[in-house]
Chain A
Amino acid sequence: MNYDMISIREKIGEILCEFGENDSRIYVLDSDLAKSTTSAKFRDKYPDRFVETGIAETSAMSIASGIASEGQIPFYVNFAMFVSGTAWTQLRQAAYANLNVKMIATHPGMDDGPDGASHHANEDIALVRTLPNVKVLIPSNIKELKQAIKMAIECQGPVYIRAARDVVPNVELEQDAHMGKSIVVEDDGNDFALIYEGTATAIAYEGFEALKEKGYKGKLINLFSVKPMDKEFIKSLASTVKGIVTVENHSVLGGIGGAIAEILAQESQHAKLAYVGVPDVFTESGKSADVKAKYGLNVQNIIEKVESVMN
């Protein structure tokens, strides 16, 4: 595969402006990071529907609940650490009321490499996917980001969109993304399935290419919809391939690997499962590529895990 790299984050503000133009219900909230998240573009175009909360993430999430209670569609755009972690009980209350609160969580996993472990959101999938009513979507490219935002607008209830800050392959898949569905990116055979979440797309592609070069024939799956997850698809995959490896820019605890394990553990027979992700440790500062490589997201680890589940 030949491709250049692009940052999903850079398009967030632009896409919100596109949807905001024809839908006056759309509000955008920010907690003093509008430039980093690019929501500043919405602020400049629709200042009346842009709510700057200051550095007050818990209150921001509850304000979003209030805006949703009035029939509007608020998007709280902020770093994944703050949206999922700092404001977790506020999100939980929004979910309890099934309010139309939408979140775009930037800088997920180790995407904010140099800032260090304090800022690495390696637990956000675990935090949000355990909440009833919350839908969790992870786009792997710009087209899917736009589709995810559209899905968020069109469905009732809270939606958490995990949007990479780091670059991802600038590949536009033929298939459209759908709520509750995964995307088969490549299907060369049944040796293995490599299932990745959108913010780990780059390393998943690299790993898949390396496995190809070694002569293995497997499937490359873009999970996209973490919740609701396409359980039947995961089950059928587990009865088709020799082994499954999940790749995530997240802890191996409670993330997409954990979610898939929860499904497969209830099946009497299924393919072996292994996880590529951050082990149960805190990370450190560094270029995001370096930090990711050190903490599990590297081609060698993917090859080892795939080989371990095939045998």
Chain B
Amino acid sequence: MIDVKHLELLANENRKKIVQMIYKAKAGHPGGSLSVIDMLTAIYEMDVDFHSEKRSKVVLSKGHAVPAQYAVLCSKGIIKEEDLGTFRQVNSRLQGHPHALDIPEVDATTGLLGQGLSVAVGMAIVKKHNHENNHVYAILGDGEMQEGQIWESLLQAAHYKLDNLIVIVDYNKLSSSGPVNEVINLEPLAEKLKAFNFHTIEINGNNMQEVVDALNKAYTLTGMPIAIISNTIKGKGVSFMENNPKWHSGALLDEEYETAMNDLNRAKEEIQ
């Protein structure tokens, strides 16, 4: 039985780590890291067992959200807490985008948008061939859905009926320039994914109960790959960042850092 409250607290702690990393580095992508962290926390807690040789894999295709991945890996004991402060610095293994050679538990080297879903398709093909009982997750950004390669790999995933593949679209509605659907409209997104032969689930991706339910549902679906459209808020959890495209990337001033940490400490009390 999944303890949703435990996951909510963990996600909140991970949010703090994200803010701390980006504050210290004076660079990074807070908005998309904060929007996806609930989903990422749940996936790693529910389905990624680092002690198992044949385990589920996570491809963070929206690689700029790597602070979220580092925060989770830190909570799993794979990255030391003191190393988080080296993010984006010379001689650190915490690169600005995921690099598997630096951290083997990072399952895929990403950063160039559009490529990660194909990598996940390759993993899922092998796992299916080997009859492994686990999953491959591809975490995509909504802006990333504008990349042509995404649609190539959607076709391929469906063609090979990769029901061990779970595609997450972190639909926070904003990209670097502003509202993603004003940059290039993705809608109707769910209909598109359904038409591409995906089991398609739509949820509030910042509601942990909905996240857990969606993942549990995904584990029961067969015959086609699964897409979870995870409607989220960019910058979720930090008052001044929420829904503000300015926080796609950027550094925090001292007072902004304090406000952010106060917001997250208050959220912790509310969860408890």
Contacts and interface: CB of A to CB of B under 8 A. Distances in A.
Contacts of A56: 149, 152-153, 155-156
Interface in A159-186: none
B107 A69 contact: yes
Among B107, B127, B149, B155: residue with most chain A CB under 10 A: B149
Interface residues of A, number: 31
B99 A63 contact: no
Interface stretch (A46-54, A109-117, A233-241): A46-54
B152 A59 contact: yes
Contact of B123 (A49, A66, A89, A93): A66
B109 A93 contact: yes
A66 B156 contact: no
A166 to B, nearest CB: 30
B73 interface: no
Interface in B41-89: 57, 59
A58 B118 contact: yes
A255 interface: no
Contacts of B124: 66
B108 interface: yes
Contact of A96 (B109, B120, B159): B109
Interface in A70-121: 70-72, 74, 89-90, 92-93, 96-99
A288 interface: no
Contacts, number: 102
A73 to B, nearest CB: 11
A96 B99 contact: yes
Given A66-B119, A70-B123, A70-B127, A58 B152 contact: yes
B156 A62 contact: no
A93 B115 CA distance: 9
A66 B120 contact: yes
B221 interface: no
Nearest to B153: A59
A65 interface: yes
Contacts of A98: 101
Please tell me the size bucket of the interface on B: 20 to 34
A294 B159 CA distance: 45
Interface in B104-143: 107-112, 114-116, 118-127, 129
B100 interface: yes
Contact of B115 (A51, A62, A67): A62
Give the interface centre of B109, B116, B119, B120 by most chain A CB atoms within 10 Å.
B119
A20 B212 CA distance: 42
A64 interface: yes
Contact of A67 (B101, B126, B156, B159): B126
A62 B153 contact: yes
B126 A97 contact: no
Contacts of B156: 53-54, 56, 59, 63
Given A62-B153, A63-B153, A66-B120, A97 B125 contact: no
Given A58-B118, A63-B118, 17 more contacts: A49-B129, A54-B155, A62-B116, A62-B122, A63-B119, A63-B156, A65-B119, A65-B122, A66-B123, A66-B126, A67-B125, A69-B100, A69-B107, A71-B126, A72-B126, A90-B112, A90-B115
16 contacts: A51-B125, A54-B155, A58-B115, A58-B148, A59-B153, A60-B118, A62-B116, A62-B122, A62-B149, A66-B122, A66-B123, A67-B122, A69-B57, A89-B115, A93-B110, A97-B100
Interface of B: 57, 59, 99-101, 107-112, 114-116, 118-127, 129, 148-149, 152-153, 155-156, 159
Interface of A: 27, 48-49, 51, 53-54, 56, 58-72, 74, 89-90, 92-93, 96-99
